[in-house]
A and B are shown apart, each in its own frame.
Chain A
Amino acid sequence: MYYYLYDSKLNDKKYTNIIARIETRLTDLGINGKINRLSFLKNINQVLAEEIKRGVKTIIIVGDDKTIGQVINLIADFNITIGIIPIGPNNNIARLLGLPSEESACDIISSRIIKKMDLGKINNYYFLTSLEIGGKNITLECDKNYIINLQENNNIINISNLNSCYDTISDPTDGKLDIFIENVQNRLFRKNRSTLSHLKNKTIRVTSDKTIPIFLSDERKIIKTPADVDIIPKKIKMIVGKRRYF
């Protein structure tokens, strides 16, 4: 049985037509189900907890990356399949999974290609896409084997599970996290020079001499150092399209 979770921003009038088209397409394909519209008054945790108790097996998120990030954290420990119908501009996850936007995504949901994907975990908090860290004197302890010291100030660290940055696609099925370290050197009267490092690891411990915020791109949430980042292989089942990037 399908359970549809609508993002709170879809209550806006400008989305009425799009939602009507999606619902018609879902009915045509015979995959319509219970719909729950989120709002500022509804707590997503409570709504999902109730549905999981009732035994829902497939949750279709109608919204953007932020909604997906919230849902993933709540259902990661249950055997539930997630589908996405992307609406709005901020839909990087759907693009990487090969899902077209709006009603075209309904056909992909109907064809139901399911992939088991890895989930990143930072201090008991799950993430699907990536983390971003910026600051000085950061130390990364990788796989408990070696330490990476970053003493310069202009480093941007990106830890990705599913992402496409720096012309590289992070595969969410390889059981490893991609670490990208970009160092930008500001030069007077000349173009800034940037260098890139790329490593693959399973566990990373992020420490620094001062507390540094870690930006979670799924949910736009901030977590502070020290932090332990792990990968949980094949933790989540997702409906993907044929045009996926991995």
Chain B
Amino acid sequence: MFKETPTTNETETVIGPSVKVEGDFVTEGNVIVEGIICGTIKTSRNLKVGPKSRIFANVAAENALVSGEIQGNLKINDRLELTSTGKIFGDIKVGTLIVAAGSVLNGKCQMGTPKEKSIKPDFSKQEKIDLKTQVNSEAEKIENKQSKKK
């Protein structure tokens, strides 16, 4: 009645510990790295970096879970999770950052979406207050009051 086919996993690229990749590694599926990569990594989906892996590359992904070492800049659109064995030596741009105790992060960090900027008060529309003239006018008022009393 039902199709007797073996269970298939979601399309994933796996780079095992025995493999060394050099160059521009661009894919559209999930990527699991357990080996060594030199160059660049780009994926439109998730990236998982294993504890014994080493990446000497700029990384771009949707989500990332880092347990190994990355030397290069990271651009993660959504969520970056750095586990206790994870090491990043480079600048990161990320939506949400989760850092575990024991992890290493050396570099500039920019979090949040580009729309989320700090709200500065806008003083340009306010009229300028001339303190000198205000002080003088108040002094004149006080003098007038005093002279009237006399």
Could you list which residues of chain A lie within 8 angstroms of chain B, going by C-beta atoms? 145-152, 155, 164, 167-169, 181, 183, 195-200, 243, 245
Contact = CB atoms under 8 A, between A and B. Distances in A.
Contact of A169 (B6, B13, B18, B19): B6
A111 B15 CA distance: 42
A183 B13 CA distance: 16
Nearest to B17: A195
A197 B6 contact: no
Given A145-B24, A195-B34, A245 B5 contact: yes
Interface string B20-40: 111111110100001100010
B19 A198 contact: no
B11 A181 contact: no
Contacts of B12: 198
Contacts of A145: 23-26
Contacts of A181: 16, 18-19
Nearest to A147: B22
Nearest to A143: B26
A233 B24 CA distance: 24
B52 to A, nearest CB: 11
A207 to B, nearest CB: 14
A231 to B, nearest CB: 16
B146 interface: no
Contacts of A155: 18
B3 interface: yes
Nearest to B36: A149
B13 A199 contact: yes
A146 B25 contact: yes
Given A169-B6, A243-B4, A245-B6, A199 B24 contact: no
Contacts of B147: none
B118 interface: no
A238 B91 CA distance: 52
Contacts of A150: 18-20
A148 B88 CA distance: 24
Given A146-B24, A148-B21, A199 B15 contact: yes
A245 B5 CA distance: 6
Contact of B18 (A146, A152, A164, A167): A152
Contacts of A167: 6-9
A168 B8 CA distance: 6
Contacts of A168: 8-9
